[in-house]
Amino acid sequence: MDSVLLLAFLCAALSLWYIAAAAPSHAAADFTAYPTIPGTEDVSVAGANSILIPPRREVYDDGRIFDISHRYVPDMPVWDSKDGLGNDFLWLLKSIKNGSLANNSAMKLGVHTGTHVDAPGHFYDNYFDAGFDVDTLDLQVLNGLALLVDVPRDQNLTAEVMKSLDIPKGVRRVLFRTLNTDRQVVEVAMRLMFKKEFDTSYVGFKEDGAKWLVENTDIKLVGIDYLSVAAYDHSAPSHLVFLESREIILVEGLKLDDVPAGIYSLRCLPLRLAGSEASPIRCILIR
């Protein structure tokens, strides 16, 4: 980089700093963090950077909008792994600190990581080959009125449990909050999506529960608060039951903490990953 460019650069950086200093609540940069992920460190107590506090919210507009997707962080649990997502999923290809004009990151992520959606090709090879990927999922199913419901905490989702929930006909989207989310009843470690180590004892649908839902309700979107809608020991059978008709969409790994049960407008948008049987998804609930 020649010195004129460098000078222009320093000026730009300085003026950015002044703007940030004048507006303490709306800055996003972290000048100390390299190569850590910007904003994942607590900059509020970091001396010279104490003015730069990025806003990170779970709830917006005084409780009208709830973010129900999990943040991608190194400690996020990953299917069948002890180590979680780890530090290597996101890195800077080019950085201002190293003389590049802009910061430019890359990521590498399993498509079933964090809050994500399954397409029919996930458990049906013939659907996969025929192209039923995440790009074919119906946005009308992924967006619309949804019921957030608490299920009994002492069981997996069986036919009996499903029956007891009395979900009215006509309800098309249901987010099931289970023991996976709980913090009052069980110790903190049971909030499974915040625990790095994958835990096979999570709550999910048993095959008969999935069957009951398919045969007795109008539900087309099933949401759950851990990495799979299916209980660990019924992983294949429950997925097969849900995905067979290609009409039911499964949204997994939802963050349902601190959201009152009830009816919301759900908005879920997956990435258009052609050829992929899943995708990370951003979901929000609006009152």
Ligand X SMILES: *[C@@H]1O[C@H](CO)[C@@H](O)[C@H](O)[C@H]1NC(C)=O
Contact positions vs ligand X (CB under 6 A): 29-31, 33-34, 38, 92, 94-98, 103, 154-156, 179, 201, 203, 231-233
Residue 34 or 79: the one with the smaller Cβ distance to ligand X is: 34
Residue 235 or 279: the one with the smaller Cβ distance to ligand X is: 235
d(CA 228, CA 236): 11
Buried b (16+ CB within 10 A) or exposed e, 99-113: eeeeeeeeeeeebbb
Residue 146 or 213: the one with the smaller Cβ distance to ligand X is: 213
Residue 27 or 146: the one with the smaller Cβ distance to ligand X is: 27
What minimum distance in Å lies between the beta carbon of 99 and ligand X? 8
What minimum distance in Å lies between the beta carbon of 287 and ligand X? 30
What minimum distance in Å lies between the beta carbon of 253 and ligand X? 16
What minimum distance in Å lies between the beta carbon of 286 and ligand X? 30
d(CA 164, CA 213): 12
Residue 133 or 182: the one with the smaller Cβ distance to ligand X is: 182
What minimum distance in Å lies between the beta carbon of 45 and ligand X? 17
What minimum distance in Å lies between the beta carbon of 238 and ligand X? 10
Residue 101 or 145: the one with the smaller Cβ distance to ligand X is: 101
What's the half-sphere exposure (Cβ side, CA atoms, 13 Å) at 259? 32
Structure tokens at 256: 């349902």
